Amino acid sequence: MESREKALLIAGFAADKKAADVVVLQMEGLTSFTDYFVVCSGESTTQVRTIAEHIIEGLKGRGVKPLGVEGLSNQVWVLIDCGDVVVHVFEAATRDFYELEKLWLDAPRLQ
C-alpha cells in the first residue's frame, strides 16, 4: 500500500469514530522519518482510545501492522507509527496545547 493511500485510509478510520478536525499533512521533503502525518482529536480520553484502537484494527485488517504505538494507556495523545505514516490522536485540550500543525505550516494538507 502506498503512503498516500495509507494516510487517507487512516483518516477515514478516524472519521468512522467521529474524530474531530482530521488533518493529513504531506511531510515528504520536510522530514526524514515519515511521508505523512495524520492528526485528529477526540472529545474525551475514551474517544481517543476508541479512535486509536479502530485505526490499529483497521490497518491490521489490511495486513498493515504498526511499528509502534505509544500513549494508549494515558489516552490524551496516542501516537501510532506506521513508518511512512505517523498518526497523532489527541484529546482536544491536549491538541490545542501542543498545536502540532503549527510546527509544520509548510506541509501541504491533503485533507
Q: How far is CA 93 from CA 25, 42, 58, 64, 85, in A?
A: 20, 9, 26, 30, 23
pLDDT for residue 111: 72
**What nine digits make up the cell of 69?**
504505538
pLDDT for residue 45: 96
Q: Name the residue ranges covered by the structural domains of the chain.
A: 3-103
Instruction: For 93, list phi and psi in degrees, rounded to 5.
Output: -65, -35
The CATH H-level (homologous superfamily) assignment of domain 3-103 is Beta Polymerase, domain 2 (3.30.460.10)
pLDDT tens-place values along the chain, 111 residues long: 899 999 999 999 999 999 999 999 999 989 999 999 999 999 999 999 999 999 999 999 999 999 999 999 999 999 999 999 999 999 999 999 999 989 998 999 987
- Which run of H or of E encompasses 12? helix 3-16
How does DSSP classify residue 31? B
